[in-house]
């Protein structure tokens, strides 16, 4: 099980408010509004820690919530936590069978794709090619869940789906695999 820990330094930073997708607000790794503190603490203070499951997905933030996409056993799960306390607000999970390529066993079966938040919705692509949309407030699954392997007869990349979805207006864009 992986753990996620938040530190006081990060919680007090406005930078987190812009982390709604992979590499930040514009997917370019640039944080436009960050002003470094005059002095850095010698060591950050851990505020909370929680077991989140396995995976390589980065957490994303919307307001007072942090969202984590991970694997719990044979399911993938989107979980919302209160950013100040670490208290779980909601969790949605679904069956996500996935057969690892023997060369990829060191990577594990957890999701690699970072979710994207747009207009109160969260979209995430699982390691086996299942694209899901969630309501950020309630965790309710939106109108669809797309399984690329079943619906389009694609194959998964050797190391699993890893592209982070992109929202453009009313469209969610993600690579469906080979």
Q: What is the pLDDT of residues 6-47, one digit of tens each?
A: 443 344 444 444 466 555 666 666 667 777 888 988 998 889
Residue recorded with tokens 């996935």: 98
The pLDDT tens digits for 164-177 are 898 889 999 888 76
pTM of the model: 0.80
Dig out the tokens for 39 from the structure. Answer: 């002095």
pLDDT given at position 74: 94
pLDDT score at 110: 87
Domains and CATH numbers, the chain: 2-173 (2.40.10.480)
pLDDT tens digits, residue range 42-80? 998 889 999 999 998 889 988 899 999 999 999 999 999
Average pLDDT, the chain: 82
Dihedral sign from CA coordinates of 92, 90, 122, 112: negative
CA distance 70 to 171: 24
Question: H helices of 59-138, where?
Answer: none
At 103 the three-state DSSP class reads helix
Closest to 114 in 3D by CA, of 161, 168, 65, 169: 161
pLDDT in tens, 71-89: 999 999 999 999 999 999 9
Distances in Å between the Cα of 172 and the Cα atoms of 10, 77, 78 are 29, 19, 17
């Amino acid at each position: 099980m992986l753990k996620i820990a938040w530190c006081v330094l990060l919680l007090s930073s406005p930078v987190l408010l812009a982390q709604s997708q992979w590499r930040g607000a514009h997917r370019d790794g640039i944080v436009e509004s960050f002003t470094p503190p005059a002095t850095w603490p010698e060591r950050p203070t851990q505020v909370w820690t929680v077991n989140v499951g396995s995976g390589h997905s980065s957490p994303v933030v919307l307001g007072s919530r942090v969202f984590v996409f991970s694997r719990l056993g044979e399911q993938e799960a989107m979980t919302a936590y209160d950013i100040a306390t670490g208290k779980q607000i909601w969790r949605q999970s679904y069956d996500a069978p996935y057969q690892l390529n023997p060369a990829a066993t060191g990577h594990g079966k957890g999701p690699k794709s970072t979710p994207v938040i747009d207009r109160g919705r969260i979209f995430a692509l699982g390691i086996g090619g299942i694209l899901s949309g969630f309501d950020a407030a309630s965790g309710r699954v939106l109108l669809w869940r797309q399984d690329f392997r079943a619906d389009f007869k694609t194959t998964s990349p050797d190391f699993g789906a890893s592209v982070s979805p992109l929202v453009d207006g009313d469209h969610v864009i993600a690579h469906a695999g080979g």
